[in-house]
Amino acid sequence: METKTRQPKKHIGRNFRRMREMMGMKQEAVALKMDVTQQTISNLEQKETVNDEELNKMAEALGVTPDAIKSFDEETVVYNIQHNHEGSNKGVSNVGAEIRNYSCTFNALDKLIETIDENKKLYEELLKAEKEKNALLKEQLRKK
């Protein structure tokens, strides 16, 4: 006798909330993207089901597909993060797909400030050299 295991129905609002939280987005930010209020986002996150139009807007705001929200499974996400993180994917078959680490290894703002500081130093050195040239030229003009 075959037993069919009934899969629990996915709670779309809860999936949406967990994805939003994992992406580090606040309700207000998603509300701005969806052109609704923060309270509307809160209400959507409480709904077990949503219509297709709402689902499409939710997916667009998070930058994912509607199916990603429907089929979101936190355990799968955590498993993928743990097993595909930088170098820990040895022995995992990727069927021709390459896994690359595109994470930034430096703070871009720090690099920008470093560049500004270096440019400021160069500017000050050039300004000092120009002042010295002007002083020499003035001295030569006085001698004449």
- The answer on 75 and 22 residing in a single domain is yes
Q: Are residues 23 and 73 both part of a single domain?
A: yes
Average pLDDT over residues 41-64: 91
Same domain, 80 and 109: no
Report the number of distinct structural domains present in the chain: 2
- Domain encompassing residue 118: 105-144
**Do 63 and 115 lie in a common domain?**
no
Q: Tell me, what CATH number does 69's domain have?
A: 1.10.260.40
Q: Which of 17, 3, 4 is nearest to 45 (CA)?
A: 17
Which has more confidence, 7 or 132?
A: 132
Q: Is residue 18 part of a domain?
A: yes
- 71 and 122 together in one domain: no
CA distance 86 to 63: 23
> What single-letter DSSP state applies at residue 44?
H
pLDDT digits (tens, 9 = 90+) for 13-45: 998 998 888 888 899 999 999 999 999 999 999
Tell whether 131 is covered by a domain.
yes
Does residue 77 share a domain with residue 21? yes
Query: Is residue 7, in this structure, part of any structural domain at all?
Result: no
State yes or no: pLDDT of 10 exceeds 60: yes
The encoded tokens of residue 91 equal 């022995």
Q: Which of 57, 60, 59, 26 is nearest to 42 (CA)?
A: 26
Please say if the pLDDT value at position 120 is more than 80: yes
Residue 63: closest CA among 29, 38, 12, 103: 29
| 65/25 same-domain check | yes
Percentage of the chain modeled with pLDDT above 70: 73
User: Strand, coil or helix: what is 41?
Assistant: helix
Which tokens go with 73?
């499974």
pLDDT at site 101:
47
23 falls within a domain: yes
